[in-house]
Structure 1
Amino acid sequence: MKRVYLPLLLIVIVVLEGTAMDFLPKEWLTSSFYFIPHWVLVVLVYVAIFYDYDSTYYCVLYGIIFGLLVDIVYTDMLGVYMFTYGLVLYSIHGLKRILHSNWLVTTLLTVVAVVCADVIVYVLYSIIRETDITWYTYVYKMLLPTLVANVVFALLLLPLLPRKLNDWAESHLEKSTSV
């Protein structure tokens, strides 16, 4: 039963990601800054750090699946978030191998993941001419506010999620090796 908890959590996060803008004050929404919630990516970074072992790649698998779900639900272009989340989470999983898992490294890897994912999405949309925003405008009005908002979300999850993910990983390992 505990194997179902993580996908259910990610489904709830996908739904909440769509309503994230409703929680912000109206003044922020009418400003010229744009916040893009990458909550699924943030949770999957936690999965990469606290759930996956060096030989398992659940974060990449869930990144591809839920990236496609984000594409289907929230964008007009299929495959952009699927590709981006898979690539970024594979890189984060590799970086996790050489760094210790503590709150500072978790925050740093979250920053790297959000920046890389957002820049890759911007570049892909620029290549296919879905956006015509200049680089300076993108960094100042979209990337920095997006980074701040997602790091705040990651810091809010920090006291709750790592311990739960460790418990789920241990029970998942016990179940798979007990047969």
Structure 2
Amino acid sequence: MKKFLLPLLFIFIFIFESIFVQSLPAEVFHGERILVPHFLIIAILFLTLYGDSKQGILYGLSFGLLFDVVYTEVLGIYLFLFPLIAYICAKIMRILQTNIVVVSIISLLGVALLELGVYEMNFLINKTDMSFSFYAQYRLLPTLILNLTFIILFSYPLKRLSEKYVAYLNKEK
């Protein structure tokens, strides 16, 4: 049963992101700001940084594909970016001390990389005509603030869950 706890949690977070977007009233920011929850990549990064990096990259690959199939018109953006960001963050953490503040900052950096990567890809294939300054002010900054709030609220539970899951997998071997 414990083996299925983390995949079920990730599926719940995947579904919760869309529920969160639908339930957040647009009038909160007078319709100007765009808030994009990236709770799933944060959970993947916590698994990668506190747990097994291979497991985190595999979760990034599988949920990146799922994210592309369900939410995007261009297949491959999240399939490529989720595991790449997990890999980059895992490499960064080899030089840094693994504590909750550093992991939270690296996770926020991962969210910023994801947002910038998606923006640049959409800009390259002419899916958006938004200027970078407009994008940074009205989408990137509010998105980072929203995801920082999520990190502050859920960093400790995600840390504990990732550590317990990896301990369970190591005990099972």
TM-score (normalised: structure 1): 0.91
Any residues of structure 2 matched to 1:1-179 within 5 Å, and which?
1-28=1-28, 30-52=30-52, 56-176=53-173
Alpha-carbon separation, structure 2, partners of 1:167 and 1:125 = 38
Structure 2 alignment gaps of length 5 or more: none
- Per-residue CA deviation, residues 85-134 of structure 1 (Å, 9 max, x unaligned), is 11111101111222222121012101110111100010011111111100
Q: Distance in 1 between matches of 2:11 and 2:56?
A: 14
Find the aligned partners of 2:129 and 2:28 in 1 and give their Cα distance. 23
In 2: Cα distance, 1:174 partner to 1:116 partner = 34
Contact 1:2–1:172 under 8 Å retained in 2:
no
Runs of 4+ in structure 1 off by over 4 angstroms are none
CA contact (8 A) 1:18 1:74 kept: no
Q: Report percent identity of matched pairs.
A: 31
CA RMSD of superposed structures (Å): 1.4
For residues 54-113 of structure 1, give each alpha carbon's deviation from its aligned partner in whole angstroms, at most 9, with x where no partner exists: xx4111111111011111111111111111111111101111222222121012101110
Give the drift of 1:172.
Answer: 0.5
* CA distance in structure 1 between the aligned counterparts of 2:27 and 2:63, rounded to whole angstroms: 31
In 2, distance between residues paired with 1:29 and 1:10? 29
Separation of aligned partners in 2, 1:39 and 1:152: 10
Matched positions, count: 173
Q: How does the TM-score come out when normalised to structure 2?
A: 0.94
Q: CA deviation at 1:25?
A: 4.0
Unaligned runs of 5+ in 1: none
